[in-house]
């Protein structure tokens, strides 16, 4: 999980979907990591200790973001500086970004303040805004934020992030994309369009997705194709204006 936040993680997803899903719970282990903003400071963080392919069946599958970034423990937070990021994503910060983030945190965070999950999301978004994330990484962040805000009961915040993500995905779909990424964006776009009441647009995205799923694919995406085929019918059950994941039938 190092150097990657939410991505579909196609290789991992495909590998785990290829075998039977174990029946067990996720678990975490506590450790420390160097604070990237304050020299010689350490941050107490959680690392995944155990999980299985069942995480790809959790409700976050409609955002195509997966445990562990769908939980509060999947957010790494530094009490000293206030620096916040998704787990495994503390690297790759250059000097200019570090200076900008330090200035932002100096005004937005008070060292030692009590920080709950929603506050961590706010700090995380503020820190990432100064890290110049790629489109792919920004999309991962927005979708993970949307899911976590929805879990907190803040539907307006979740919808706002999903609308931003949808616009980025639609633009990206007009560019060259890896096959699995194109499938991912079409699936999520169709889900978001349905939630926003854009039924015709959702149907059009599903039609494009359906054609791609029927096309021949290399072995490295075959299991992901199978996975989406099993999910695609759920899109029609998404209720506009509510939670993204449809009620169980």
pLDDT at residue 149, as a whole number: 98
Is residue 24 predicted with pLDDT exceeding 60? no
Rounded to the nearest integer, the mean pLDDT of the chain is 90
Cα dihedral value 187, 190, 194, 195, nearest 10:
60
Give φ, ψ of 177 to 5 degrees: -135, 155
pLDDT in tens, 119-140: 999 999 999 999 999 999 999 9
Instruction: State phi, psi for 128 to the nearest 5 degrees.
Output: -65, -30
Q: How confident is the model at residue 177 (pLDDT cuts 50, 70, 90)?
A: very high
Alpha carbon distance 18, 29 (integer Å): 27
Domain regions of the chain by residue span: 10-237
Express each pLDDT in 27-63 by its tens digit: 999 999 999 999 999 999 999 999 999 999 999 999 9
CB 102 within 8 A of CB 130: no
pLDDT digits (tens, 9 = 90+) for 59-115: 999 999 999 999 999 999 999 999 999 999 999 999 999 999 999 999 999 998 889
């Amino acid at each position: 999980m190092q150097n990657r936040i939410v991505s579909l993680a196609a290789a991992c997803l495909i590998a785990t979907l290829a075998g039977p899903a174990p029946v067990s719970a996720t678990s975490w282990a506590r450790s420390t990591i160097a604070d990237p903003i304050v020299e010689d400071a350490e941050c107490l963080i959680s690392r995944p200790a155990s999980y299985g392919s069942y995480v790809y069946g959790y409700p976050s599958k409609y955002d195509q973001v997966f445990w562990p970034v769908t939980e509060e423990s999947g957010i790494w937070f530094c009490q000293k500086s206030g620096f916040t990021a998704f787990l495994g994503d503390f690297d790759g910060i250059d000097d200019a970004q570090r200076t900008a983030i330090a200035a932002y945190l100096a005004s937005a965070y008070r060292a030692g303040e009590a920080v709950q999950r929603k506050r961590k999301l706010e700090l995380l978004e503020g820190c990432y805004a100064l890290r110049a994330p790629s489109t792919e990484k920004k999309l991962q962040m927005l979708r993970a934020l949307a899911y976590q805000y929805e879990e907190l009961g803040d539907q307006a915040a979740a919808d706002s992030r999903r609308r931003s993500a949808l616009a980025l995905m639609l633009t990206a779909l007009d560019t060259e994309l890896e096959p699995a990424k194109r499938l991912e964006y079409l699936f999520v776009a169709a889900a978001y369009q349905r939630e926003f009441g854009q039924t015709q647009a959702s149907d059009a995205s599903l039609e494009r997705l359906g054609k791609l799923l029927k096309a021949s694919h290399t072995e490295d995406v075959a299991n992901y194709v199978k996975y989406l085929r099993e999910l695609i019918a759920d899109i029609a059950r998404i209720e506009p204006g509510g939670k993204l994941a449809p009620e169980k039938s």
